A and B are shown apart, each in its own frame.
Chain A
Amino acid sequence: MSFLPDGHLSSVAIAMLGGAVRVSTPFLFVSLGECLTEKSGRINLGLEGTLIFGAMSGYAVAFMTGSAWAGVGAAALAGAAFGLVHGLLCSLPRVNDIAIGIALMLFGMGLAFYFGKGFIQPVAPTLPSINLGWWSDSPQLRSALRINALFLLGIVLALGMAWMVRATRIGLIIRTVGDSSDAARALGFRLVLVRVASTSAGGALSGIAGAYLSLYYPGSWNEGISSGQGLMAVALVIFARWNPVGCVWAALLFGAAGALGPALQSVGITQGYYLFFAAPYLLTLGVLIATSSPNRSMSGAPGELSITR
């Protein structure tokens, strides 16, 4: 790193740590949502649209009620509604979940831009954060350790989801439905219900991811608020091998990659730093290439998933 001025390496490391936590939160929620949906055997490519609509509706409700948490709740509800539509449409015969996903992505974005026009100027309250860096003298470390409550909630959710798929009846039912329709039917499970519910819950989680974007970081509503987190979640889930705890690590990795550009900028690098803004996209590409093979299906993938069959 010869182009870095002396002594800035640790600054970049600290900025990346803080950035990783900040940037990873939406990745974490949207990938947990995608993970849950895919565990039930469907893939929802519409989460990008859900996320953007969640960001808009969360911001709007927070502005109108004055409560950021009400905004998060509204975003979750909007996301659940999008998931419900996806789930129900895909339950019709001969409907392809990937095509519906792309249609809903465009629909969600368009709807969000339409209703969101009036909320670009106003300032909504932001989500509170917890100061875990009170012990440190370094202002950089302090700001890096200001952690949003949603990040902690996401980690609890990931652990809870890992426990759910292992030790609860509903968890085993979701895995059964996602892995073998024949087996699930023979056991008398209601495939459509399980898949619609999982897709809807997954949509709620990506709605929350959107609310985080507009209500905390970057913390405003505009049309370029998402940088493709909803789409990258698909790669993230593959990278995490459909393991909710793996989603935490994958989200942190993608968060750190996303924080690389701003971190370099913050220490005064003026040349070429914008190339590092592309890091998450390069990482996505790398992950997809590294995990693909023409000769075998991915290990750990739910058997009913249309992309792995």
Chain B
Amino acid sequence: MRALSLDEGAIEVEAVGMTMRFGSFTALDSVSIRVRAGSFHALLGENGAGKSTLVKCIMGYYQPSEGGILVAGREARISDPRAAHALGLGMVYQHFTLVPALSVAENLIIAARDTQGIINWRKARARLSEFMASMPFSIPLDQQVATLAAGEKQKLEILKQLWLGRKLLILDEPTSVLTPQEADQILGHVRDLCRAGRISVLMITHKFREVMAFADEVSVLRRGRYVGGGVVAELSQAQMSAMMIGAVTLAQPSPRIGQREGVVLEIGGLCATDRSGLKDISIDGLKVHAREIVGIAGISGNGQKELMEVLTGERPRRAGHVLVKGVRWDASRAKARRLNVRFLPEEPLRNACAPRMSVAENIGFRVFDGLGTGTQFWLRPAELRQHAAQLVRQFGVKTASLDAPISALSGGNVQRAVLARELTGKVDLLVISNPCFGLDFSAVSDIRARILAARNSGAAVLLMSEDLDEILELSDRVLVMSEGRITYDRPVAQAHIHEIGAFMGGAQ
């Protein structure tokens, strides 16, 4: 039993021949991977490749149809997450599982299984302080979790797992909400903990940079199959990329055509209250020209949502002006029509669709009261259907029927349907927020190509995104938004990723 003793630090975990079927669909097909004791193992794959299914099987959320798990060389029965925890396996989820209203100390205490009915705070705090002191990084115990920055929360999630005595950590895209600097810092700490033999790590990711910089070994999944892997030092990024994507040809973005022209969107002296009601966003001198994509990078929660809401008319502005082609913009439907202003908000199903209405109806929102000029009182269903059918074909929206509720579509197809609606007809200004969040590779390249095509045909595009790669790929000019202000403004050719990262993290 000594080999299983929980005091000995990192453990080896091996999944052998894991197969998981949901009905007739095989999500995992005989996948075997081994995470050596004290190693940092990356699990690469596209959305839907089976990464989450695999770790859910390991953590006991699913019971695999076939195959088993070896923990420290012994076969383990993991019937539920509690059994996994008892074996020393822990998981850090993509969304935070901390309780925002509780303090750091309360979060750690409530997570522990052995917490007494009545908490002796003096003793508990002494233990917590001692634990924090033994860690390579720490978080103030009395701070309320809601007030922590995303990076701090992620650190706390990892600290919590160590506090609970976990020996193998599964990290699910741990850096998706962090700046490059924060990500490097946290992954560096995690690697140090591996090197010190305290934990083994299995990290789900799709960022090659992090795999190359931090991981010891990698396994690549595609469509539920293990398609390759090995020691990271012996693999090139191109090899990993080929394994991950396979033999699919992705839509290539069309080349940029033409130089920027006149100013289309101009924001000056804009001031609005952010959603906490405590801080302001203030944007001055932001101009977007025709035939130009201006990308706004930034960590979520720095005012991008509020800026989008001001432009769409959801949030009142206290001061300042917004001009579109020199005309005061009031976010009315009439002006949107006259000035050809279109929006593509983030989470389109929530923010740009009526989920239970049909695909055809959702596509018709801009034109239902008049396909030509002017508005009409009576609807013309046949015309609208035809219009929708044409756009569905043209934009490659995969739907069972035009009458299916739009909520039944996959994320990529909802985004395509909304794009079809917004990009049809003449577009002079397009405002976009996180257009590719959570979509798979082929949808991403498709949608980015459409955005670039809109730019090439003369639209001014304002793109807000948390994905820095997306900003760098699409933009002609890169801005950084931090604490509600634009703090950085460079043409993309002169922009440097580390500089952008520093400004995203709050540099002035």
CA distance A186 to B118 in the complex (A): 22
Residue of A nearest to B278 (CB): A296
CA distance A271 to B213 in the complex (A): 83
Give the residue of A167, A179, A295 whose beta carbon is less than 8 angstroms from that of B100.
A179
CA distance A110 to B106 in the complex (A): 44
A289 to chain B, nearest CB (A): 16
B99 x A176 contact (CB < 8 A): yes
Give the residue of A167, A168, A183, A293 whose beta carbon is less than 8 angstroms from that of B99.
A183
Give the residue of A187, A188, A296, A302 whose beta carbon is less than 8 angstroms from that of B101.
A302
B81 x A167 contact (CB < 8 A): no
B111 x A187 contact (CB < 8 A): yes
Cβ–Cβ < 8 Å partners of A303 in chain B: 100-101
A176 x B95 contact (CB < 8 A): no
Q: Which of B232-240, B269-277, B474-482, B484-492 contacts A (4 or more CB under 8 A)?
A: B269-277
CA distance A295 to B314 in the complex (A): 10
Query: Is B321 part of the binding interface, using a Cβ–Cβ cutoff of 8 Å?
Result: no
Query: Is B109 part of the binding interface, using a Cβ–Cβ cutoff of 8 Å?
Result: yes
Contact with B along A283-309 (1 / 0, CB 8 A): 000000000010110000011000000
Interface of A (DSSP majority class)? helix
A180 x B277 contact (CB < 8 A): no
CA distance A296 to B99 in the complex (A): 19
Given A173-B110, A188-B81, A295-B315 in contact, is the A168-B119 Cβ separation under 8 Å?
Answer: yes
Given A167-B121, A186-B97, A293-B277 in contact, is the A172-B82 Cβ separation under 8 Å?
Answer: no
Cβ–Cβ < 8 Å partners of B326 in chain A: none
A179 x B102 contact (CB < 8 A): yes
Query: Is B143 part of the binding interface, using a Cβ–Cβ cutoff of 8 Å?
Result: no
CA distance A186 to B94 in the complex (A): 12
Give the residue of B81, B98, B273 whose beta carbon is less than 8 angstroms from that of A183.
B98
Cβ–Cβ < 8 Å partners of B119 in chain A: 167-169, 172
B100 x A170 contact (CB < 8 A): no
CA distance A293 to B121 in the complex (A): 36
Contact with B along A186-198 (1 / 0, CB 8 A): 1110000000000
Cβ–Cβ < 8 Å partners of B102 in chain A: 172, 175-176, 179
B101 x A172 contact (CB < 8 A): no
A179 x B101 contact (CB < 8 A): yes
Cβ–Cβ < 8 Å partners of A295 in chain B: 273, 275, 277, 315-316
B99 x A180 contact (CB < 8 A): yes
A172 x B110 contact (CB < 8 A): yes
Query: Is B116 part of the binding interface, using a Cβ–Cβ cutoff of 8 Å?
Result: yes
Given A168-B117, A295-B315 in contact, is the A179-B99 Cβ separation under 8 Å?
Answer: yes
CA distance A173 to B100 in the complex (A): 13
CA distance A182 to B91 in the complex (A): 14
Query: Is B115 part of the binding interface, using a Cβ–Cβ cutoff of 8 Å?
Result: yes
Cβ–Cβ < 8 Å partners of A180 in chain B: 97-100
Interchain pairs with CB closer than 8 A, number? 62
B356 to chain A, nearest CB (A): 14
CA distance A81 to B101 in the complex (A): 30
Residue of B nearest to A242 (CB): B101
CA distance A172 to B109 in the complex (A): 9
CA distance A187 to B90 in the complex (A): 11
Query: Is B131 part of the binding interface, using a Cβ–Cβ cutoff of 8 Å?
Result: no
Contact with B along A1-41 (1 / 0, CB 8 A): 00000000000000000000000000000000000000000
CA distance A293 to B97 in the complex (A): 28
Query: Is B137 part of the binding interface, using a Cβ–Cβ cutoff of 8 Å?
Result: no
Give the residue of B101, B110, B277, B316 whose beta carbon is less than 8 angstroms from that of A169.
B110
In chain B, residues 65-121, which have Cβ atoms closer than 8 Å to a Cβ of chain A? 81-82, 93, 95-102, 106, 109-111, 115-119, 121
In chain B, residues 280-318, which have Cβ atoms closer than 8 Å to a Cβ of chain A? 315-316
CA distance A126 to B96 in the complex (A): 53
In chain B, residues 32-90, which have Cβ atoms closer than 8 Å to a Cβ of chain A? 81-82
Of listed B101, B106, B116, B315, residue having the most chain A CB within 10 A: B101
B72 to chain A, nearest CB (A): 23
A48 to chain B, nearest CB (A): 28
Cβ–Cβ < 8 Å partners of B109 in chain A: 172
CA distance A129 to B106 in the complex (A): 40
CA distance A182 to B100 in the complex (A): 11
Give the residue of A175, A178, A187 whose beta carbon is less than 8 angstroms from that of B97.
A187
Given A167-B118, A176-B99 in contact, is the A186-B315 Cβ separation under 8 Å?
Answer: no
CA distance A199 to B99 in the complex (A): 21
Residue of B nearest to A173 (CB): B110
CA distance A296 to B277 in the complex (A): 6
B24 to chain A, nearest CB (A): 26
Cβ–Cβ < 8 Å partners of A178 in chain B: 101
Cβ–Cβ < 8 Å partners of B95 in chain A: 182
B115 x A183 contact (CB < 8 A): no
Contact with A along B250-277 (1 / 0, CB 8 A): 0000000000000000000000010111
Residue of B nearest to A185 (CB): B97
Given A183-B99, A188-B81 in contact, is the A168-B118 Cβ separation under 8 Å?
Answer: yes
CA distance A66 to B203 in the complex (A): 69
Give the residue of A169, A175, A176, A187 whose beta carbon is less than 8 angstroms from that of B117.
A169
Cβ–Cβ < 8 Å partners of A167 in chain B: 118-119, 121
In chain A, residues 156-182, which have Cβ atoms closer than 8 Å to a Cβ of chain B? 167-170, 172-173, 175-176, 178-180, 182
Cβ–Cβ < 8 Å partners of B100 in chain A: 179-180, 303
B58 to chain A, nearest CB (A): 16
Residue of A nearest to B95 (CB): A182
B117 x A170 contact (CB < 8 A): yes
CA distance A168 to B99 in the complex (A): 16
In chain B, residues 189-246, which have Cβ atoms closer than 8 Å to a Cβ of chain A? none
Q: Could you jot down 8 A-B contacts, CB within 8 Å?
A: A169-B116, A172-B110, A183-B97, A184-B99, A186-B93, A187-B111, A295-B316, A296-B277
New contact pairs (18) apart from A167-B119, A293-B277, CB-CB < 8 Å? A169-B116, A169-B117, A169-B119, A170-B117, A172-B106, A175-B102, A179-B100, A179-B101, A179-B102, A180-B97, A180-B99, A180-B100, A182-B95, A182-B97, A186-B97, A295-B275, A296-B276, A303-B101
> Chain A residues in contact with chain B, CB under 8 A?
167-170, 172-173, 175-176, 178-180, 182-184, 186-188, 293, 295-296, 302-303
> Chain B residues in contact with chain A, CB under 8 A?
81-82, 93, 95-102, 106, 109-111, 115-119, 121, 273, 275-277, 315-316
- 4 pairs of A and B residues whose beta carbons are closest in the complex: A296-B277, A186-B97, A179-B101, A172-B110
